[in-house]
Amino acid sequence: MVLLYIKGVEEKEKQNFQHTVDLYGRQLKVTEEQNEDTEMTLSFSSSRDQTRGTLYAEEAELSYTYYPSAAFTQEAPDSKEIKRRKLHVTVQLLNKWFHTEQPWGLLTGMRPTKLWHQWHQGGAGPEDIKHWLLEDYIVTPEKAELLTSIALKQQEVLPDIYELSKGVSIYIGIPFCPTKCAYCTFPAYAMNGRNGSVVTFLEGLHYEMEETGRWLKENNVPVDTIYFGGGTPTSITAEEMDALYSHMYEVIPDIENIREITVEAGRPDTITPEKLDVLKKWNIDRISINPQSFTNETLKAIGRHHSVEETIDKYKLAKVHGMNNINMDLIIGLPNEGMEEMAHSLAETEKLLPESVTVHTLSFKKASEMTRQKNKYKVAEPAEVEQMMNLSSQWMADHSYEPYYLYRQKNILGNLENVGYSFKGKESLYNIIIMEELQTIIGLGCGAASKWVDPETGRISRFANPKDPISYIQSYGEYTVKKLDTLSGLFPASQKA
Ligand code: SF4
């Protein structure tokens, strides 16, 4: 552990600096005091249009002066701007010191595209934004290009992107899976296990859907997209799915005109011809069938309990049953996987060419089995993870897939990102809406997080349903009342027809 003393950084800001220096993976610990154990020291001096930083370490000294773009110069820079500048200088100096670069520079948040849209709504054009990303946020040219192309694609796919807050989307969480994958922290309980029965859970879900539908109708609030996630929503039986969608058609207003309904059928081992017929019967627009990897040993190591062959068979079966917008998820950096396995997964994907492919980079989520038993899982080094990412993005471009949404996570390998690619016109609208926080998402079912986006102020707050089925079953009535109250506050009676 190397102690890094950063002069003039307040206690409440320390976390940001620690988070940034953690990206270098060098075990640097930001300290508040300078003492004989301090091995590196960083100091700053700032004026209206420049911030200078000096790094002292191992009897050497490195300096850097940052001249912000005009949009970031202020007569008297406020504390937020000063912090950004200090972080800028810190990243530049550490890049130099360790002879490396951070692909996302200062952008450590989950939604870099959201920042792009905010700047754009503030009047900045794509060229200004690209300049700021490169110069003021030290994002690499590749990532700046990726971000720009995604934001422009989102504007094309959702022409009313900045007016969506007048409507809502609905997320429906079905918390069951055949087995739990090692990297997963979603609510994914065994069917009919000790965690409450599917039948009683579904009773709660039908109730929530009905009450929410009634409120939407009475308040004349339009629904743009519906997304069934989980868990695996196709874990329940074909009859249960049929009853659920039938009820959805009955109670959700104007459902024929909803822009998109997605059902994750992520685990191939849950898919049957009967369930595919139900999905088709109710005009489900988009499903996911997720290989994650096309190497059987990897699937075994991560506890997927299905084979590569089953993924391929179920994909073909879904096509035969008329599903014409299928997404496949791949994960970069799964245990024991490197360039060879990634190339193999892409070669297998090439034989299927699903309408969209979402490329995730493995992240070690706090509560996952993989994080708890980290030593058991050997994952690729950051340089190889980056090579895999480059291979996949080149492969996507070569096969006419275009990136349309992006998000980042904490503890993501190589400090990289997750990117959704699709053929033109096959983008998931829900994925864009949730990532860019464009409108309220009403969460129904287990673990479903409602996200309230105030149509007037844009202010965002959250409310989560209980994660486990037993707590959900005990309290869905009470939770429904709270959510409808919040909705009534967000969408006042003036909207009523
Ligand atoms: S199938 Fe999906 S939700 Fe279920 S355990 Fe695996 S990753 Fe989690």
Based on the fold, state whether residues 90 and 217 are members of the same structural domain: no
Question: How many whole angstroms from 232 Cα to the centroid of ligand 1?
Answer: 7
| 140 in a structural domain | no
Report for 19-23, 47-51, 186-190, 273-277: range of highest mean pLDDT? 273-277
As a whole number, mean pLDDT of residues 290-295 equals 96
Based on the fold, state whether residues 41 and 186 are members of the same structural domain: no
Distance CA 459, CA 222 (A): 20
Based on the fold, state whether residues 96 and 166 are members of the same structural domain: no
In terms of Cβ atoms closer than 10 Å to its own Cβ (0-12, 13-18, 19+), residue 457 is exposed
| 297 in a structural domain | yes
Distance CA 452, CA 429 (A): 18
Q: Which residues contact 459 (CB under 8 A, 6 or more apart)?
A: 453
Q: Quickly tell me which residue has 């084979």 as its tokens.
A: 307
> CB of 231 closer than 6 A to ligand 1?
yes
Neighbours of 464 (CB within 10 A): 13
Closest approach atom of ligand 1 to CA 267: 1
Question: How many whole angstroms from 159 Cα to the centroid of ligand 1?
Answer: 33
> CB of 184 closer than 6 A to ligand 1?
yes
Nearest residue (by CA) to ligand 1, atom 7, is: 184
| 136 in a structural domain | no
- CA dist 12 → 19, 251, 437 (Å): 13, 48, 27
> CB of 181 closer than 6 A to ligand 1?
yes
Based on the fold, state whether residues 65 and 192 are members of the same structural domain: no
Based on the fold, state whether residues 93 and 207 are members of the same structural domain: no
- Domain of 28? 1-100
Question: How many whole angstroms from 231 Cα to the centroid of ligand 1?
Answer: 6
Q: Is the peptide bond before 196 cis (omega within 30 degrees of 0)?
A: no
DSSP helix/strand/coil, 228: strand
| 365 in Cβ contact with 377 (< 8 Å) | no
| 177 in a structural domain | yes
The DSSP call for residue 325 is: -
The DSSP call for residue 322 is: T
Based on the fold, state whether residues 346 and 439 are members of the same structural domain: yes
| 406 in Cβ contact with 435 (< 8 Å) | yes
Based on the fold, state whether residues 194 and 323 are members of the same structural domain: yes
Based on the fold, state whether residues 40 and 174 are members of the same structural domain: no
Based on the fold, state whether residues 175 and 28 are members of the same structural domain: no
Longest dimension (CA), the chain: 73
Based on the fold, state whether residues 166 and 87 are members of the same structural domain: no
The alpha carbon of residue 388 and the mean position of all alpha carbons in its chain are separated, in whole angstroms, by: 19
Please give the mean pLDDT across all residues of the chain: 93
| 449 in Cβ contact with 423 (< 8 Å) | no
- Domain boundary among the residues 100, 115, 131 is at 100
Distance CA 249, CA 254 (A): 9
- Domain boundary among the residues 100, 134, 152 is at 100
| 230 in a structural domain | yes
Helices (H), 220-261: 238-251
Residue 59 has pLDDT above 90, yes or no: no
Question: How many whole angstroms from 367 Cα to the centroid of ligand 1?
Answer: 14
The tokens describing 165, both together, are: 């807050």
- Domain boundary among the residues 100, 121, 152 is at 100
| 112 in a structural domain | no
> CB of 266 closer than 6 A to ligand 1?
yes
Give residue-wise pLDDT tens across range 437-447.
999 999 999 99
Give residue-wise pLDDT tens across range 409-436.
888 888 889 999 999 999 999 999 999 9
pLDDT at res. 376: 85
What H or E segment, with its residue span, contains residue 227? Answer: strand 223-230
CATH number at residue 77: 3.40.50
Nearest residue (by CA) to ligand 1, atom 8, is: 184
CATH number at residue 354: 3.80.30.20
Number of structural domains in the chain: 2
> Of the candidates 344, 359, 425, which has an alpha carbon nearest to the alpha carbon of residue 158?
425
Comparison of pLDDT for 349 and 415, the residue scoring more:
349
Based on the fold, state whether residues 204 and 66 are members of the same structural domain: no
With cut-offs at 50, 70 and 90, classify the pLDDT of residue 294.
Answer: very high
| 128 in a structural domain | no
| 119 in a structural domain | no
Based on the fold, state whether residues 367 and 481 are members of the same structural domain: yes
Comparison of pLDDT for 461 and 75, the residue scoring more:
461
Distance CA 254, CA 16 (A): 46
> CB of 362 closer than 6 A to ligand 1?
no
DSSP helix/strand/coil, 488: helix
pLDDT at res. 188: 86
> Mutate which of 171, 172, 174, 184 to test ligand 1's pocket (most atoms within 8 Å of Cβ)?
184
Question: How many whole angstroms from 453 Cα to the centroid of ligand 1?
Answer: 28
Strand ranges (DSSP E) for 362-411?
402-407
Distance CA 162, CA 158 (A): 9
